[in-house]
Structure 1
């Protein structure tokens, strides 16, 4: 089944070229089914690139998904045309009285900024608090995961001395957890962050199910018992060249970044990188949509209630 997106969204052409079934609004309006309503709060600067990456992963599902894009505020963007934002993105005021099956909050390039210094921190807190009453399951990605842990568990910001960048091996835990259905015992996933997610720290200070960890990168995947809050500390949505572009950007800004580990063949940036995490990324999003959203959400979103959710798989 397809994802439903606006007719003129740039991602539609990219996804069609990749043979991904995209249903435009004009066609979807004639179908008599109840699609999942998924909201994406896009905090990344290059919004067109990021929305395409997430839509690609959401498309690998038998469910029809109605996507809406949300921006954090109305400040001008340096990396995304104003026309694109005005045409395809909504302000929070336009959706706050509605319920959604799922919410994805993307990462943001704020790894070295304290929460209280993030210009939209209070607004983000308001959206995350709203999600408790209006969203079946929220997926926090990378920086958003640290922000979510601050809001839900009051955990302070924990920052690494050096940026964690590269593709890392992970081991799964709780192998029968629905989010891990179909996962191999070990898998690869990219990271690009300064945040520190130690398994020991999260075990001591939260009641989260820690589902996947790396000896180097720490916790990769964790979930609340009721699966209404899922934390992904890496970037399963990244394209093959995303880490490369970040590395070149940081070099250009004089930051002297380390070469992303286990990314370039022979660790040589002159060699084109090979994506080794696509299958895991698609499976993770399919599992989230199925077990955390579709299996949990009420058929009538107007009947949204905390009583709909259980801690059972």
Structure 2
């Protein structure tokens, strides 16, 4: 029995009961080439107007650029004026149409201002991407300082403070609710249907060690997605979410710095670090450089879900996670 248990343990550690590396049979590993940032589908979103919260940079910014290339009018809503100005400038230089409204998704007046601006400028609102989100209670453009910001960063429930939890919930959950509420009203009034995509996360599909507020808020984001899909299907409005694992963004960069700082501080701990039980998606693990997803890979799925090609898709929580939730 002991020998059997030992063999089972070795098999599990080596990757599974039946798994053998493919190259052992003469096949060579192949990296998947990331999508070309310049790729787009011409005229797919011609004449449509989309509001993008958190559209200044990252996944929201890449989606704004691609939607404009595909013919859409884009209204970026974000707290980051400098980054938003750069994204709007890029879109206009490429011949696209874009506007920027500065504001905070936690403030009803700000959200309504962006919706009103979209309708006043372009005559209608056909869809929205809700990409604004945070992992910690610090400003998106703050300089990382672990010791000074420690109480505002992700931490297990027993040690988590109110400011950390409340801020993340207010932006990621309540902010999505307030955004959807404002975005739905003109779509209903127009009577032409519409589409909303919410950026949630693998943290909205599974647990994620040491991130209680992020996990709770992203589960709420997915809950809002499903309820929106149910309530507004009769009006021709589709609602879906995308749920990514590590993607090359400023938020991921901050998370990496936080993990490294926390690991260094707790280096002498004898308690197992549950965050290390799974650190990579399937595709990242298989890649020779362990690369993260790119913002353009995420934007590709979002632009598809916003388009008529996804006419039969609503209420879906799409795992754009490189296989993270597959195992």
TM-score > 0.5 by shorter chain: no
Larger CA Rg, structure 1 vs 2? 2
Q: TM-score, normalised by structure 1?
A: 0.44
Q: Considering fraction of residues, name the structure with more strand.
A: 1
Q: TM-score, normalised by structure 2?
A: 0.43
Q: Considering fraction of residues, name the structure with more helix.
A: 2
